[in-house]
Amino acid sequence: MLNPLRPYSARMRRLLGQPQPEFTDGAVETWQEAPGGLLEFRPALYLPGQPDRIRASVFANLPETVEALTRHGEAAEGPTMGWRFRDIDLVDGVLYRNGAEQHLRNRRRRFGLAFRPRQSVSGALYETWTTNRWFGSWLMDALVAWPLAQKTGMAMTTAPVPKPGSHAAEYEAMLGIAPKRALGDLHFDELILFGDLSNNADKWRRQRDLRQSLLAGRDPTPVPGVFLLRGMGGDMRFLQNETELAEKLATQRGFLVIDPLKATAAELIEACGAARAIVGVEGSHLVHGINVAPAGAAIVPIQPPDRVAATLKQLSDRLDQRFGLVVAEGNDTVFTLGWDDLARTLDLFD
């Protein structure tokens, strides 16, 4: 039943310093969508001293990030989980049950917790806060979780319909993704959530199925590599000599240089679908290329030293690609990478 006090209860717990209960502890049913297990991981390729340039990481602590980037051999990955809930409220992008909350997106109403539900619904969400925050996370994680929600027959998202002509709209059309839209404040009579963070064998399979679907009916031309420009788009991560590196890759290595903001999703898939390397500043735009690049392709994100992430390494693992660790010099927002560092890193894949 509707309970307008739930958001206030969770807020009071935080203000009083009380422990927050785990949201999933309130599930009326818990199951394993896919088992975990041991998987074989290949290490990143890198020049001597590259890991020593890493000063800070995102999405995981520094030791965990370095381990994920450099591990070699078998490693254990957990299962993919499913949870069924009843009587859940969605208020300003946050899911509430008694005393517990789970954020799906940033709040828009700073102080307003008043619950103004438009309707009561039931649905299976395939999103997380991360996939709603970063387009690349949506592209590599939400699209892979979509089949889990789809098979329930009540797939749903809190995201609005993508703008016509946007990359998101193109991908949804290509893949036949047509969820129900849970917009605004809602009450869920029944809600299904998934825990799909583990890089297990089933996620590998779904990732490869996604690549196959995106390449269906296409015959991309093999190219030595694609450099995907970042420029000043998205969160501030400015490679000061990006233009210089792009020109050298084009003239000396035969790379295609593409600005994703000026290309359609279909054009990006055609360009990257048979590329032997995908290179560019670490970020969402690289996922266009990694998602469709062939097995064995070199994936070389240029990492800011104060913002190193292992997420694209995990994606390349799922697609049997090879990952290059190259760390720029500077900080988390403005940095430079020497041509020699990039060229010699690419040579490691020969």
Q: Same domain, yes or no, for 137 and 272?
A: no
118: in domain? yes
Q: Same domain, yes or no, for 147 and 205?
A: yes
Worst-scoring range by mean pLDDT, 70-74, 83-87, 173-177, 216-220?
70-74
Looking at 213, 245, 260, which one is the last position of a domain? Answer: 213
Spatial neighbors of 115 by CB under 8 A, at least 6 apart, are: 2, 4, 6, 7, 89, 91, 185
79: its two tokens = 């299962």
48: in domain? no
Over the stretch 181-237, which tens digit does the pLDDT of each residue have?
988 889 999 999 999 999 999 999 999 999 999 999 999 999 999 999 997 777 889
331: in domain? yes
43: in domain? no
- pLDDT given for residue 43 in this prediction: 87
* C-alpha span between 153 and 220 (Å, rounded): 34
- pLDDT given for residue 15 in this prediction: 62
Enclosing domain of residue 234: 64-73+219-347
Helix (H, G, I), strand (E, B) or coil at 125: strand
CATH of the domain at 69: 3.40.50.360
Q: Same domain, yes or no, for 145 and 16?
A: yes
Query: Is pLDDT of 314 > 90?
Result: yes
| Band of pLDDT at residue 139, cut at 50, 70 and 90 | very high
Worst-scoring range by mean pLDDT, 2-16, 54-68, 125-139?
2-16
Q: Same domain, yes or no, for 187 and 88?
A: yes
Consecutive H or E run containing 201: helix 201-215
| Beta-carbon count within 10 A of 281 CB | 25
Query: Is pLDDT of 5 > 60?
Result: no
The fraction of the chain above a pLDDT of 70, given in percent, is: 92
pTM for this predicted structure? 0.92
Q: Packing angle between helix 265-272 and helix 167-175, nearest 10 degrees?
A: 70
Q: Same domain, yes or no, for 84 and 170?
A: yes
* C-alpha span between 161 and 76 (Å, rounded): 37
- pLDDT given for residue 277 in this prediction: 98
Over the stretch 31-81, which tens digit does the pLDDT of each residue have?
999 999 999 898 899 999 999 999 999 999 999 999 999 888 899 999 999
**Cα dist. 64→4, 58, 60 in Å?**
40, 10, 6
Helix (H, G, I), strand (E, B) or coil at 167: helix
Query: Is pLDDT of 17 > 80?
Result: no
221: its two tokens = 């031309």
135: its two tokens = 């387009």
Residue 336: which region, alpha, beta or left (left: phi > 0; alpha: psi -120 to 50)? beta
Over the stretch 244-269, which tens digit does the pLDDT of each residue have?
999 999 999 999 999 999 999 999 99
Round the average pLDDT of the chain to a whole number and report it. Answer: 92
DSSP structure string for 19-48:
PPPPGGGG-SEEEEEE--EEEEEPPPB--T
The fraction of the chain above a pLDDT of 90, given in percent, is: 82
Query: Is pLDDT of 10 > 90?
Result: no
